[in-house]
Structure 1
Amino acid sequence: MIESDKKIREQICIEVINHPNSVYNVLSPEEKENLQQNMSCSFFKKGEYIYKEGEKPIGLISLKEGKVKIFKEGVGGREQIVRMAKPIGFIGYRALFAEENNIASAVAIEDSVTCTVSYDMILKLIKTNSELSLSIIRSFATELGFSNNRTVTLTQKHIRGRLAESLLFLRDTYGFEEDGVTIKVYLSREDIANLSNMTTSNAIRTLSTFAGEGVIAIDGRKIKILDKVKLDRISKLG
């Protein structure tokens, strides 16, 4: 590795550790230095796999930059998106701490950067720093609560409610562009369908219906939320 590339990677790791939303903020300066020395970063192009279903986890992965979808392959090869990750969150942690192989795959939906800490290093820090343990547990518990709510949404709501909830979820996860209405993530119609547990044709048809009702506006993969109150009402009514 050339010196300039090494410095870039080191700086990325430092930024992850010191990020305001990082669980690593509770570490002492000495622990942070040790962690940084044992952290590696990787770069992924849009569409590249970060990890695959069935593989053994390589460590605790933090998303530094970009957006990632985590999905399982179902019947007939159809994907079911179970999570959407944003910086500075963890991905692939369930299998890691369960000491199992990955039960889902992660793919970058835009150019992304990850930082990985080995399982042995994380275990060492958890055993010696109770604040880090609690911080990680809180992070996992929050994600579990979200997953439980999504399970109810995807199994009990009708198509309109599921799609509305997915659009609100994307808004809450990634926010808006500077115009204040365009969701700051551009998914294919297939990905929107896989996130909402519906066929692609139903997703396309329902998006068009929402647009016709003035709830959203569509420009290619860009989706603008024009009527937040109505979209929220559709989601709640299910």
Structure 2
Amino acid sequence: MDSSPTALFDSYEQDFQQILQSIRQKLEGDGSDQRGEQKKAALRRVEMELDEADEMVSQMEIEIQGIPQSIRPKYQSRIRTSKADLARYKKLSREMHAQASRADLFSSRGGGGAPATSDEPYGSSDRARLLAGTAILEDGSRRLQESQRIALETEEQGADILRSLVGQREQIENARNTLQSADNSIDRASGTLKKMIRRMYQQRFITAIIIIILVLLIGFIIWGKLRR
């Protein structure tokens, strides 16, 4: 198993390219010549594949955070290229949806805005409103999926920030414990120095007393000799 820091990114990118190839085939290849229900079914599959491609790009953006800074710009450029390709096919998909809706509308009119019949319970204006409503619902669904993707990215970023804050809190606690240990060591050193100073003064006092006694003894001896 490849344990390099770019392995997962490369895997997601490969999946993205495979999905994009399938989308390209449906929108620009043989699938672009389909008509009617076949075309609608192909466009629905394209919508699902676009969502999968979006998810792959999101995973690539997550994985790039673990790639070393020295090579990260190259992978960021590849993500930008993938996003540009995805945006182009999303736009093409919307255009083909609109074309399919217009084709349905024109076919329902039969060239002259025919009224509703028992075989076609909706008139041309009602059908146009239904198609417009369907387009709005599809657009709303895409927006909702995009919002969900952004929410997931935000949640992941929030989790990263939370992990970073937890690590910083642990560092602060360790630093505080270190400072407390240093403070205790300083207190002990201060107490030791005070004891040494006290002993030094005691020794000086004792030394001074001894010197005074010696001077008195010497003086007494000299005085005794002078009296003889």
Under TM normalisation by the shorter chain, which class is it? under 0.3
Greater share of residues in strand: 1
Q: What's the TM-score, normalizing by structure 2?
A: 0.25
TM-score w.r.t. length of structure 1:
0.24
Higher-RCO chain (CA-CA 8 Å, sequence separation at least 6): 1
Structure index of larger Rg: 2
Q: More helix by proportion, 1 or 2?
A: 2
